[in-house]
Homo-oligomer: A and B are copies of this chain.
Amino acid sequence: MARLYLALLHHPVLDKNGAVVTTAVTNMDVHDIARLARTFELDGFYVATPVETLRRLVQRIIHHWEEGWGATYNATRKDALALVRLAPDLDAVITDVERECGALPRLVATSARDGGDRLGYDALRERLAAPGPPVLLVFGTGWGLTRELLDRMDDVLEPIRGRGDYNHLSVRSAAAIILDRLHRPR
């Protein structure tokens, strides 16, 4: 079975006007996606931001729940946060996965937008079930990954569609739905 990693990128991502920005790290993204990573037994969840202060902040949050007072208050957070890793950018994430697996990960972006060839959930689930290189699922914060980042990806997953045209889920909700779809055969 191929290893599966998730990266949440805070730069370079788009804002709602299409400008390239660096978003702030959201505490709830870290907790929610760490719990998802633990539930679906991912091999690692990277929080990537070039802002060193924010990486240190996340490190302090993890420390609080892993070794501080929080570890006895709520052990389920500790279990989830153990999967969180910090990185400055996508390249550092790729290097870390390669170091751990001995192979470069295949990069699979997620996007709320239509267009181009898209990888289906069934196809990716089958790929994950077979032996092969690790897969790195890449999520952008803000209004999504830049064109430059999307061009580096091996594949882009199908967008999540509900019953209408509305496609503005939070990255937390999108990660929940995507990991569930990759886990459950249909």
Contact = CB atoms under 8 A, between A and B. Distances in A.
A10 interface: no
A74 B185 CA distance: 36
A91 to B, nearest CB: 29
Contacts of A170: 28, 31-32, 35, 172
Contacts of A39: 160, 162-164, 166-169
B40 A173 contact: no
A39 to B, nearest CB: 3
B186 A38 contact: no
Interface stretch (A62-70, A92-100, A101-109, A176-184): A176-184
A41 interface: yes
A168 B80 contact: yes
Contacts of A169: 32, 35-36, 39, 176
A152 interface: no
A186 to B, nearest CB: 3
Contacts of A35: 166, 168-170, 173
A79 interface: yes
A179 to B, nearest CB: 8
A76 interface: yes
Nearest to A184: B186
A147 interface: no
Given A28-B28, A173-B173, A79 B166 contact: yes
Nearest to A28: B28
Given A32-B172, A177-B177, A183 B166 contact: no
A185 B162 CA distance: 12
A173 B36 contact: yes
Nearest to A16: B74
A93 to B, nearest CB: 22
